[in-house]
């Protein structure tokens, strides 16, 4: 099992924390996955795709978690899957997974992480080519475990917030902001998951959306409030689910 972070009870997740909390009481820490880019996909300025929206996305998301729940969260981290410290974290976040290139050692380690109770969130990838690259990797990680749509009735949408409506969450490039031209995805967003043999969701799949951008730009006046609100509710539900299931 992962090391003792699953002791948090759902009853402690009430809104509006009261009083100061010590770092020793940290219950959740955000971990971002480091990975090598698939050949031919590296960005022109040399920064790997795993760094998309880093570190601003998790910095803003941490503030939202602290403000909206009683979960005490420490500083964010980023590690490769081959680092043994990944087992100290209840979840790992990976962005732009249509471009990742995991080695055999990394796929084995990710399988072990999920089998021990870890939770993977993937985000900000688009279109059939990127989806297929992600799917092929996950077939190596968890063979014969399909990627399925998460229906409205799934507990993951109701552990803290009732998220009955999910819609497109845009990156700045989709809104024509930040110096980007308007470029909306051709296909609708899909909210999917991969389950373990007991039916627990172990991988949350945000496809054709950019939840990380909505966290990152929560304080940007021009960014749509509805998208930010949905991104925070979904992200917090993922955290609560990962720590209580």
In a domain, 19, yes or no: no
In a domain, 195, yes or no: yes
Question: Residue 55, preceding bond cis, omega within 30 degrees?
Answer: yes
Q: Count of CB atoms within 10 A of residue 77's CB? A: 17
Mean pLDDT, the chain, as a whole number? 87
Q: What is the CATH number of the domain that holds 146?
A: 3.40.50.12140
Each residue's pLDDT tens digit, 29-85: 999 999 999 876 655 455 799 999 999 999 999 999 999 998 988 888 999 999 999
- Residue 14 has a pLDDT of 38
In this structure, the strands spanning 190-195 and 91-95 are: unpaired
In a domain, 62, yes or no: yes
* Token couple for 25: 């009481």
Q: Count of CB atoms within 10 A of residue 28's CB? A: 21
Nearest Cα to 2, choosing from 69, 77, 88, 102? 88
**Mean pLDDT, rounded, for 1-15:** 43
In a domain, 10, yes or no: no
In a domain, 9, yes or no: no
In a domain, 1, yes or no: no
Give the number of domains in the chain: 1
In a domain, 157, yes or no: yes
* Token couple for 138: 């996950």
In a domain, 77, yes or no: yes
Each residue's pLDDT tens digit, 122-156: 999 999 999 999 999 999 999 999 999 999 999 99
Residue 99 β-bridge partners: none
20 vs 55, higher pLDDT? 55
Q: Count of CB atoms within 10 A of residue 123's CB? A: 25
Residue range(s) defining the domain that contains residue 179? 24-244
């Amino acid at each position: 099992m992962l090391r003792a972070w699953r002791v948090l009870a759902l009853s402690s997740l009430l809104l509006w924390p009261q009083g100061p909390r010590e770092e020793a009481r940290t219950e959740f820490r955000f971990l971002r996955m480091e990975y090598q880019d698939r050949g031919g996909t590296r960005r022109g300025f040399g920064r790997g795709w795993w760094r998309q929206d880093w570190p601003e996305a998790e910095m803003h998301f941490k503030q939202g978690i602290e403000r909206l729940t009683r979960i005490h969260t420490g500083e964010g981290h980023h590690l490769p899957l081959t680092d043994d410290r990944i087992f100290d974290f209840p979840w790992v976040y990976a962005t732009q997974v249509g471009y990742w290139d995991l080695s055999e050692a990394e796929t084995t380690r990710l399988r072990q992480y999920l089998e021990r109770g870890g939770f993977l969130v993937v985000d900000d990838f688009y279109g059939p080519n990127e989806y297929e690259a992600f799917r092929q990797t996950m077939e190596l990680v968890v063979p014969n475990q399909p990627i399925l749509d998460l229906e409205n009735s799934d507990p993951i949408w109701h552990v803290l917030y009732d998220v009955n409506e999910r819609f497109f969450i845009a990156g700045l490039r989709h809104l024509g902001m930040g110096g980007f031209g308007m470029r909306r995805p051709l296909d609708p967003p899909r909210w999917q998951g991969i389950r373990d043999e007991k039916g627990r969701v172990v991988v949350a799949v945000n496809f054709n959306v950019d939840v990380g951008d909505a966290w990152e730009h929560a304080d940007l006046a021009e960014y749509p409030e509805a998208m930010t609100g949905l991104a925070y509710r979904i992200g917090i539900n993922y955290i609560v689910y990962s720590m209580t299931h």
